[in-house]
Amino acid sequence: MSQPLCSLEELESRGLLAVEAELDGGPESLLVALAGGQVRAYLNVCPHAGRRLDWAPGKFLREADQVVCAAHGASFLLADGHCTAGPCRGQALRAVKVEVVNGAVRLAASR
């Protein structure tokens, strides 16, 4: 059974969440977003310096369809994780496959 992350209802009301998940045998912080009607998830880690994207746990800087790294200002499209500005321009967030099952956002069974 895949691991539940959050409810779709909570994601729809907030648009962007930080959640903890068990990945590859250890705990990881994930950024879960609703972008263009699609649920997306990424490791909550900026590829520039390996720091969390949020400025406080679960508190993200968001500009329209992008999330901004609180440490160095890199901007990432929520739809695909690609960096559009900042020190890691051209790189991308590491995507994590998720699915919606019975109103719950879960890690996809096949990752």
Q: How many domains does the chain have?
A: 1
Judge contact between 46 and 82, C-beta under 8 A. no
Can you give the CATH number for the domain in which 54 is found? 2.102.10.10
Helix (H, G, I), strand (E, B) or coil at 106: strand
Average pLDDT on 23-37 reads: 92
Average pLDDT on 26-37 reads: 93
User: What is the domain extent for residue 24?
Assistant: 4-107
Q: Is the pTM of this model over 0.85?
A: yes
Confidence of residue 79 (pLDDT cuts 50, 70, 90): very high
